[in-house]
Homo-oligomer: A and B are copies of this chain.
Amino acid sequence: MKLTQRYRPSLALLTDMYQLTMAQGYWKQQRAEQEAVFHLYFRKNPFKGGYTIAAGLEDAIDLLQNFRFTEEDTAFLAQVKGSTQEPMFEKAFLDYLRQLKFTCTVDAIPEGTAVFPNEPLLRVQGPILQCQLLETPLLTILNFQTLIATKAARMVDAAKGDAIIEFGMRRAQGPDGALSGTRAAFVGGVGATSNVLAGQLYNIPLKGTHAHSWVMSFDDEEESFATYASVFPDDSVFLVDTYNTLEGVKKAIAVGQKMRGNGHELKGIRLDSGDLAYLSIEARKLLDDAGFEKVSIVASNDLDEYLIESLKLQGARIDTWGIGTKLITAYDQPALGGVYKLAALKNEEGHWDYKVKLSEQLIKVSTPGILQVRRFYDNGVLVGDMLYSEDQGISRPSTMVHPNDPTQHKSFKESCTHEDLLVPIFKDGQLAYTSPSLKDIQTRTKQQVESLHETYRRLLNPHIYKVGLEQQLHQKKMDVIVELRNRAD
């Protein structure tokens, strides 16, 4: 189910106030329809990682398709007052908003693609007033889902083929933090969720058995397992740490033996506290010695990709990883920090003026143009991405310039193949894209991560993937910066 169906039909007010004041400014100036290009991108991979997984596009498309100001929306804006208690917004401007139709052209990188700093995940071209209003919600949707998909992909990579279950809803940042987050976690490769509503909305497999409270509600732990098994004889995973973990395992085995007598098999046990390395090894021994080699061990308790890696190195015998808080909130970096910058504006002669946001640091200066990302492959392996501007084209296809150090160039072999990552999503406001199924997006993520050299995938100090500028674009960017610096001083 789509964002607007589960939320509200129009989300036009889900934006920052300054987008609306600027919109009235452009409109007053008769510049509302002036054509602009904005890029949405981030400056650093999250989690000090080597790559990022794009996510959220399907929700962003839904937002754009349903973009309109309802009568309720403009009625609310009509009564917003300024410091003199006069209305902030003119009636004629609100009438303009009321009849506004989304007419932008949007290109974006499909969900599940590995992306890197400074690459536009999304490019909006159209009337500056519309581009501006859309900044905030597009960032909200893409920043968060991209963040969580990336976190999930890192955990999946660390788990090396083990199953991961997402069950962070209780710690999520609000109901939509749980829903959008679970969707993004699935994009990143998580196999199942505890979130029933996400299961319904996104067709994600559901998992869940029982909590400590189930055990505590019985006088006897073994009785609680036996009762659970009587209700779900083929789907029993017993939580064994309510009182004493290894004693709990023994009781699970006792119940497992009775289940077997009745023609059923215990599916698993879950460890939720204590030393997971030690306990999983001891639990495995107990299970194996009792003939329960196929009973899987599920572990949980504030896990993340670092703990998964560490537990595997310690020889922990964990088959399934249950992950909550650290995934659903991206705990160690809970925001991506994506930005949305004006990059070009069509002047009265119909030509593009390139636009740059200056900064003291070259790394924070935006790149102007109508950007596309060309990705180069050497035998299917990613070797570098070149940003170029579609109105300039490419002069020397095989060479690009380091974005922050013009003395460094990178050349690609003649035998490299390439692909342009941004694909058409909307053409003049008309949808030109069909979102793949969430399962297909998940498959794309897996393929993308696997096509990255392992040096980009390691958790600690990963290799920096090369993203450069096409030569004419680089030159033009330098020219604009120098001109602006001269003018500012």
Contacts and interface: CB of A to CB of B under 8 A. Distances in A.
Interface of A: 3, 6-8, 11, 13-22, 24-26, 28-29, 31, 34, 36, 38, 73, 76-77, 80, 82-84, 86, 88, 128, 132, 135-137, 139-141, 143-145, 167, 169-181, 193-197, 199-200, 206-214, 216-217, 221, 227-228, 230-232, 234-235, 242-244, 247, 267, 273-274, 325, 329-331, 334-338, 340-342, 345, 355-360, 484-485, 487-489
Nearest to A16: B194
Given A82-B235, A360-B274, A3 B175 contact: yes
A329 B175 CA distance: 14
26 contacts: A14-B197, A15-B196, A15-B197, A16-B167, A16-B194, A17-B193, A24-B231, A25-B214, A25-B231, A34-B217, A36-B217, A82-B234, A86-B234, A136-B170, A141-B175, A143-B170, A144-B173, A170-B338, A174-B177, A212-B341, A216-B342, A216-B345, A242-B357, A247-B489, A330-B334, A334-B334
Contact of A213 (B173, B217, B342, B358): B342
A194 B18 contact: yes
Q: Which of A28, A73, A136, A181 has the most CB of B within 10 A?
A: A136
Given A14-B196, A243-B488, A329 B334 contact: yes
Contacts of A207: 17
Contact of A174 (B80, B82, B141, B267): B141
A362 to B, nearest CB: 14
Q: Which of A6, A135, A177, A193 has the most CB of B within 10 A?
A: A177
A210 B334 contact: no
Contacts of A234: 82-84, 86
A354 to B, nearest CB: 10
B487 A196 contact: no
B17 A196 contact: yes
B210 A21 contact: yes
A489 B247 CA distance: 8
B208 A341 contact: no
Contacts of A274: 360
Given A194-B17, A200-B76, A25 B210 contact: yes
A17 B174 contact: no
B345 A217 contact: yes
A393 to B, nearest CB: 25
Given A194-B18, A243-B358, A358-B242, A135 B170 contact: yes
A20 B196 contact: yes
Given A11-B197, A144-B177, 8 more contacts: A16-B170, A31-B217, A34-B217, A88-B232, A132-B211, A136-B170, A174-B179, A217-B342
